[in-house]
Chains A and B, each alone.
Chain A
Amino acid sequence: MGQIKGVRIELGGITQHNIKQLKRLNQYIFPVSYNDKFYKDVLEVGELAKLAYFNDVVVGAVCCRVDVHDGVRHLYIMTLGCLAMYRRHGIGSVLLEHVFKIAKSQGNFHSIFLHVQINNDSAINFYKHFGFEIVETKEHYYKRIEPSDAYVLEKRLIPEKSA
């Protein structure tokens, strides 16, 4: 990672013109399928959803949404990933750093959290590396894949001191 010359990773916005690229990505990366409402919502969240360009080719994406629970705001990562051939080149890190940046700039987020299939070791290690912890196990979270259990990974953010 990082020794290769001439690599550019850039993030781009998701619009109704290129949303199908996101659909294709999710189709190839994740074993779960997302419905039309998911993509409709993605168009509304602005900076919370991005495409990742590796040397000008769309290879990955991240989609988040704001989750409010008992009056507390959390940032929930719905999907984050990239095509198999392009993994271990730093794209995931760029995507996650972007999420951190958004969380910080928009403020008022108690934590960032996401679900991971319990056998997805590489993902678990990836998020642990960035300061996430397993805080819960949700049994039978996934409806159509095995194993159906999921870990909840969470990273507490230092809350902004309000006046």
Chain B
Amino acid sequence: TSQPLPPKEKTLFNRILKCYEQKQYKNGLKFAKQILSNPKFAEHGETLAMKGLTLNCTGKKEEAYELVKRGLKNDLKSHVCWHVYGLLQRSDKKYDEAIKCYRNALRWDKENLHILRDLSMLQVHMRDIEGYRETRHALLQLKPGQRAPWIGYAIANHLLKDYTVAFKVLEEFGKTQQNDYYLFDEEMVYEHSELLLYQNYILQEAGLFQQAIEHLETNKEKIVDKLSWLEYKGDLCVKLERLEEAEKIFTSLVNRNPENHSYYQKLESVIKPSNEVERLQIYDAVSAIFPKADSPKSLPLTFLTGPMFQERVDKIMREQLKRGVPPLFVSLKPLYKEQEKVKCIGEIAEQFIRSLEANSKFSPDDEEIEPPTTLLWARFFYAQHLDKIKEYEKALQLINESLEHTPTLIELHVLKAKVLKHLGDTAGAVASMDEAQSLDTADRFINCKCAAYMIRNDMISDAEETAAKFTRENVSIDEYLKEMQCMWYEVACASAHSRANRYGEALKKCHEVDKHFTEIIEDQFDFHQYCMRKMTLRSYVKMLKLEDSLRSHRFYFQAAKAAIKVYIHLHDEPYQPGDRIQDEKESSMSNAELKKLRNKQRRQERKKAAAEERKKNEQHDKSGKKNHTDTILINPSFCNFCQISNPLEQAQKFLAPLELYCSGKFETHYLAFQIAERRGTLLVMLRALLRAQKVAKESDMPNLHVCRVRFAKK
């Protein structure tokens, strides 16, 4: 710093720092005032900066920035000023700027631990891994006695794929730990175990399988997560071709958990059965030990054929229909890709029904008599089967017959709604779903389904009313579901608005989904420090990988698709402010009815606004801090979304992550083609067309053909 303080003022300044750490902002400001009211120090940079930082915590953001910048200008060589400026930027999530400030701060104080730590967090968050490694290295050299610098440096190397360095660092770190220390402390035992497993994970990623397996053996006692130990060892044995050992391990894993499908896959890859019978033996052996386990019974259905398949599936269907298992169809659905099996299952179900109707038995020469519920579930299953093979009318008939006998079965109403949906009768589907949810109003799942069906039928206000039964009082539905990041709802609404030509509202919902993804990426910030403390390093590294490609998730895909389509439409037919789009209900009403409706809507808007004001005031009272993010607009001017000058630019923004993460989907390239077409960029069009061709399926062929023609015409 170029403005050193005399002892009295220095003490005051240290008090300001303490007050800031202890969140005693009023006192901090008092001390700052004492320094600054002295004309000699009225422009003392560091004090001004600290005053600004303190003010920022009380919500006075603009003043805070002014003061901090003023302080910085007065004392450009002060690492404190730069650090404070960095903290300010970070609190506003301007991470790139914050990193720059921290780097400047470090120029004046290379060995400031605080700054180095803060910087490292930001660097890993922004995925500046090289920078992260540098910073971690500096920290390690300064504080080799602390745990975090070692771990951080190792992680940095791991992320940069410098596996040998990462492993060695952790080995050295392990040596500095007192060995018998952790025998007395459960938490330390667990942490050490996690550290060892992380090391092993690094070795596996490096491809050093022999070393990894030896590492596992040496540390067998210290690793308390026995399941992970077994799984790692099993995989490594496979990679090292130690097949007999692998078989033993996977067998013991299956005995631990006979429902984990991956264990069976691995067993098969190790045992290498030569035909169906041998394959079946593996599963039957497990069934013998665990007769109630589902997986060993149902998994063989995927590879069995002919009479063996028939025998097995018949047995399973009998068991589950007798037990009354509603999702029997769901578990057999994967088999419906093979026509033979579909036919077989259908015939079995038909026979069951006929026999049960005639004399309450699965087949005429059975001894056991079945209760009426068996027939009920058999009919339910067969109706789902008919629906799947597109015999909708038959399915509907069967469902209605069943409802005559058992009108109280909610699953039947839900199925009826689904079949009606497939037939295109969205209004009838809503009616059925509504009946279903009215029979059990405590069931949240049905409530959600009902809301979803209503949205599909463009009954958005009804959907809101339905959803309101399960959301918090005094908060508007939209706000609550936004807070809960309920993306299926937002995407469904966006599609519905889009269909009704309410483009502004559709875009608003799409942008909200996009914001959720930004928030989720943002949320990882605290974990950078937390995971290192808790040693949950494997999960941490996996989380980083997940966050890296977060927008590959289908919710983003759906929202982006909807948004891009709307923007393309807005490009083709620009929005006129005078357009007052009416929805179906409104266009069929008389003027008087319309006026009544508008009044009702205005009243509802006012109620909404009042509820939000109340909520804002509550938050204001609690923290004394104003809620800066998401200022709630009372009358959302959807026009803002529509009246933009360059909709294609916005569309491109939504498209970018799709091209990165969803390049296997036809729609990505189809949309890219349409945008490029309107921009007139022929090369981009061609590229999109070629990519689309590579991934197109049969159902995409019509659209592909259109693209080809349009390209040829250019």
A and B interact = yes
Chain A residues within 8 Å of B, Cβ to Cβ = 3-7, 15-18, 20-21, 24-25, 27-28, 54-59, 83-86, 89
- Smallest distance from the beta carbon of A26 to chain B beta carbons, Å? 11
Contact B373 A54 (CB under 8 A): yes
Q: Report if A3-B369 is in contact (Cβ < 8 Å); known contacts: A16-B441, A17-B440, A17-B442.
A: yes
Which of A21, A25, A56, A57 has the largest count of B CB atoms less than 10 A from its CB? A57
Name the one of A15, A18, A85 contacting B372, with C-beta atoms under 8 angstroms.
Answer: A85
Q: Considering the chains assembled together, what is the distance between the CA atoms of A38 and B441 in angstroms? A: 20
Please give, as numbers and ranges, the residues of chain B lying within 8 Å of A55 by CB-CB distance: 324, 371, 373
Q: Report if A59-B371 is in contact (Cβ < 8 Å); known contacts: A17-B442, A20-B438.
A: no
Q: Report if A83-B406 is in contact (Cβ < 8 Å); known contacts: A24-B439, A56-B324.
A: yes
Please give, as numbers and ranges, the residues of chain B lying within 8 Å of A17 by CB-CB distance: 440-442
- Smallest distance from the beta carbon of A20 to chain B beta carbons, Å? 5
- Smallest distance from the beta carbon of B331 to chain A beta carbons, Å? 19
In the complex, the chain A residue whose C-beta lies closest to that of B443 is A17
B405 within 8 Å of A (CB atoms): yes
Contact B322 A21 (CB under 8 A): no
Name the one of A7, A18, A56, A83 contacting B439, with C-beta atoms under 8 angstroms.
Answer: A18
Contact B405 A57 (CB under 8 A): no
Please give, as numbers and ranges, the residues of chain A lying within 8 Å of B371 by CB-CB distance: 4, 6-7, 54-55, 89
Please give, as numbers and ranges, the residues of chain B lying within 8 Å of A59 by CB-CB distance: 406, 408
- Smallest distance from the beta carbon of A31 to chain B beta carbons, Å? 16
Contact with A along B416-448 (1 / 0, CB 8 A): 000000000000000000000011111000000
Name the one of B369, B407, B442 contacting A28, with C-beta atoms under 8 angstroms.
Answer: B407
Contact A21 B439 (CB under 8 A): yes
Could you give 11 example pairs across A and B, Cβ below 8 Å?
A: A3-B369, A4-B370, A4-B371, A15-B442, A17-B442, A18-B442, A56-B324, A57-B406, A57-B409, A59-B408, A85-B406
Contact with A along B441-476 (1 / 0, CB 8 A): 110000000000000000000000000000000000
Q: Report if A6-B322 is in contact (Cβ < 8 Å); known contacts: A54-B371, A54-B373, A59-B406.
A: yes
Q: Considering the chains assembled together, what is the distance between the CA atoms of A24 and B323 in angstroms? A: 25
In the complex, the chain B residue whose C-beta lies closest to that of A54 is B373
Which of B322, B370, B372, B441 has the largest count of A CB atoms less than 10 A from its CB? B372
Name the one of B368, B405, B407 contacting A24, with C-beta atoms under 8 angstroms.
Answer: B407
Contact with A along B677-701 (1 / 0, CB 8 A): 0000000000000000000000000
Interface residues of B in 323-359 (CB under 8 A from A): 323-324
Contact B441 A57 (CB under 8 A): no
Q: Considering the chains assembled together, what is the distance between the CA atoms of A54 and B371 in angstroms? A: 9
Which of B368, B373, B376, B409 has the largest count of A CB atoms less than 10 A from its CB? B373
Q: Considering the chains assembled together, what is the distance between the CA atoms of A83 and B402 in angstroms? A: 12
Q: Report if A84-B405 is in contact (Cβ < 8 Å); known contacts: A6-B371, A89-B371, A89-B372.
A: yes
In the complex, the chain A residue whose C-beta lies closest to that of B373 is A55
Contact B439 A20 (CB under 8 A): yes
Please give, as numbers and ranges, the residues of chain A lying within 8 Å of B405 by CB-CB distance: 83-85
Please give, as numbers and ranges, the residues of chain A lying within 8 Å of B369 by CB-CB distance: 3-4
Q: Considering the chains assembled together, what is the distance between the CA atoms of A148 and B264 in angstroms? A: 68
Which of B369, B370, B371 has the largest count of A CB atoms less than 10 A from its CB? B371
- Smallest distance from the beta carbon of A49 to chain B beta carbons, Å? 16
Please give, as numbers and ranges, the residues of chain B lying within 8 Å of A24 by CB-CB distance: 407-408, 439
Q: Considering the chains assembled together, what is the distance between the CA atoms of A15 and B443 in angstroms? A: 13
Please give, as numbers and ranges, the residues of chain A lying within 8 Å of B406 by CB-CB distance: 57, 59, 83, 85
Q: Considering the chains assembled together, what is the distance between the CA atoms of A98 and B185 in angstroms? A: 57
In the complex, the chain B residue whose C-beta lies closest to that of A3 is B369
Contact A57 B440 (CB under 8 A): no
- Smallest distance from the beta carbon of A84 to chain B beta carbons, Å? 7
In the complex, the chain B residue whose C-beta lies closest to that of A18 is B440
In the complex, the chain B residue whose C-beta lies closest to that of A17 is B442
Please give, as numbers and ranges, the residues of chain B lying within 8 Å of A25 by CB-CB distance: 407-408
Name the one of A3, A16, A20, A57 contacting B376, with C-beta atoms under 8 angstroms.
Answer: A57
Which of B324, B408, B439 has the largest count of A CB atoms less than 10 A from its CB? B408
Interface residues of B in 95-133 (CB under 8 A from A): none
Q: Considering the chains assembled together, what is the distance between the CA atoms of A55 and B325 in angstroms? A: 11
Please give, as numbers and ranges, the residues of chain A lying within 8 Å of B372 by CB-CB distance: 54, 85-86, 89
Q: Considering the chains assembled together, what is the distance between the CA atoms of A53 and B362 in angstroms? A: 23
Please give, as numbers and ranges, the residues of chain B lying within 8 Å of A18 by CB-CB distance: 439-442
Contact with A along B597-617 (1 / 0, CB 8 A): 000000000000000000000
Please give, as numbers and ranges, the residues of chain A lying within 8 Å of B408 by CB-CB distance: 21, 24-25, 57-59, 83
In the complex, the chain A residue whose C-beta lies closest to that of B408 is A58
In the complex, the chain B residue whose C-beta lies closest to that of A24 is B407
Which of B405, B406, B440 has the largest count of A CB atoms less than 10 A from its CB? B406
Please give, as numbers and ranges, the residues of chain A lying within 8 Å of B438 by CB-CB distance: 20
Interface residues of B in 52-87 (CB under 8 A from A): none
Please give, as numbers and ranges, the residues of chain B lying within 8 Å of A28 by CB-CB distance: 407
Please give, as numbers and ranges, the residues of chain B lying within 8 Å of A15 by CB-CB distance: 442
Q: Considering the chains assembled together, what is the distance between the CA atoms of A15 and B440 in angstroms? A: 10
Q: Considering the chains assembled together, what is the distance between the CA atoms of A66 and B241 in angstroms? A: 78
Name the one of A5, A27, A84, A89 contacting B368, with C-beta atoms under 8 angstroms.
Answer: A5
- Smallest distance from the beta carbon of B403 to chain A beta carbons, Å? 10
Please give, as numbers and ranges, the residues of chain A lying within 8 Å of B407 by CB-CB distance: 24-25, 27-28, 83
